[in-house]
Amino acid sequence: MPARRHAIAALAALGLIFSASAVGHAQTPNPKQTEALATYEHALGDFKSILAERRGQIDAKQPLPNLPGQALYLARVAVISAYKDLTDAMPSRIGRPNKFEIPPAYFDADIEPLIDEYGRLFDIMEAPPANAQNSATPFKDVVDLAVAIARAKGLAPDHAQAAGRISLGLFFAETNGKQNVRNGRSNTYMGSFQTGPSEDRNGHRKWEAIKADIAAVDPELSARDDKEEAHARGTDHRFNHWTNVRDGLMNAHAEVFREIPAIVKTLPDPIDQMKLFELIQIVPTPTRSALKSGDLLNYRVSSPTIMKHLRNNSIFAFGQADRARSSASFREILAAMWLFNRKFERAMAKYAEIRGR
């Protein structure tokens, strides 16, 4: 019996040795994992560095470089991309959920404070000019204008309300619901709906063409428009909240409002509806083609230029696997727009608040 007990003990000890060896081996990163970890740590260091640099410049009231937000944006993309590559190589690094509702495989919740600082810096860099003409009711303005435009285009009341809800989502997507802001990454796109000068002029022309129809469906809104137009005369219309929202909607979205009855059937989720209209803002031509195709969700884009535009707007932008995509269906594009989810949820809550009054 003692010999048997000794044999069992020896086998147990041997098992522990092998077990410890296996654990140690599993915890030793392979070269790909080591490289991914080093890349992430480098990207994180760069992100912290540019945040500190820009904060120092702002606090010291030093002149900022041209497009002061671009370096911050690229550093944020790099850190999220590097983390996704790290979790692809080491799935055990996928952590807890984060308050930004970014998929945990893409984002380490421990760096939430850095993203908070990122947002604060952009708030400063994109602050409206001193002569900006704010509205006391910026969210309601967006809804009211969109509903009036949709009604003038012949939509039924429920679909016109959908246009209002969708347009409020666009306001949050473009500026986080902040009126008359500038753009830290562009010298062209400005205002509540982030339009360029030519887009603003085009929208204004289209508005003038339907102004009589607007007056017929909503005389009160038409009268408000006359006051805002007079107020903005001689200034950049993009820095009057009302006129920029109006012209932005007319430029890019008003014609597509007619498609809302079909869109809500194909995309019953209101957030998906908002995503689709945001794609009209980002990649208008293929989005309109997809709508006309009769098979919206399976319509595929493969143009390198279009894929680049998507990536430049945080769609398929993070990690080697996403960035290697050469094509995508609209179903895949909508699913990849997870960075917009939180913005659109806020828009939905604000819309419910407005309509609950």
Q: Give pLDDT, residue 356.
A: 82
User: CA nearest 271: which of 195, 151, 356, 173?
Assistant: 173
Asked if residues 296 and 266 have their Cβ atoms less than 8 Å apart, the reply is yes
* CA atoms within a 13 Å half-sphere pointing along the CA-CB vector of 12: 6
Q: Give pLDDT, residue 235.
A: 95
Q: Give pLDDT, residue 148.
A: 98
Q: What is the pTM of this model?
A: 0.89
pLDDT 10s per residue in the chain (357 long)? 444 344 444 334 334 333 333 333 356 889 999 999 999 999 999 999 999 999 999 999 999 999 999 999 999 999 999 999 999 999 999 999 999 999 999 999 999 999 999 999 999 999 999 999 999 999 999 999 999 999 999 999 999 999 999 999 999 999 999 999 999 999 999 999 999 999 999 999 999 999 999 999 999 999 999 999 999 999 999 999 999 999 999 999 999 999 999 999 999 999 999 999 999 999 999 999 999 999 999 999 999 999 999 999 999 999 999 999 999 999 999 999 999 999 999 999 999 999 886
DSSP E strand boundaries for 188-339: 300-301, 328-329
Q: Give pLDDT, residue 9.
A: 40
Domain boundaries, the chain: 31-125, 138-355
Write the single-letter amino acid at 252.
Answer: A
DSSP E strand boundaries for the chain: 300-301, 328-329
What confidence tens digit (pLDDT) does each residue in 70-120 have? 999 999 999 999 999 999 999 999 999 999 999 999 999 999 999 999 999
Q: What are φ and ψ of residue 133, in 5° steps?
A: -105, 95
Q: Give pLDDT, residue 28.
A: 86
CA torsion angle 80 81 85 87 (round to 10):
20
Query: Measuring CA to CA, how many Å separate 6 from each of 2, 12, 28, 116, 167?
Result: 6, 10, 33, 61, 77
